[in-house]
């Protein structure tokens, strides 16, 4: 572990930068779809059914 940190620090000083690329991962299509759906629900909660307890949810799921 200490060797890895020393290599990292040495390389950082030598390059005057972090020696690897840092980037934000692109969200998956599935995640983007879920975020859009969550936003839609948050903006129009009256259009969607909510549940106060698990029993109520389970009853609807069993229908």
pLDDT per residue as tens, the chain (63 positions): 899 999 999 999 999 999 888 888 899 999 999 999 999 999 999 999 999 999 999 999 998
pTM over 0.85: no
CA distance 45 to 63: 22
Q: Do residues 11 and 19 lie in contact, with contact meaning Cβ atoms separated by under 8 Å?
A: yes
């Amino acid at each position: 572990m200490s060797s890895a940190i020393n290599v990292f620090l040495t390389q950082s000083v030598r390059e005057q930068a972090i020696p690897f690329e840092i980037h934000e991962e692109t969200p998956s299509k599935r995640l983007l779809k879920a975020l859009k759906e969550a936003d839609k629900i948050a903006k129009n909660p009256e259009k969607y059914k909510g549940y106060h307890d698990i029993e109520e949810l389970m009853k609807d799921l069993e229908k």
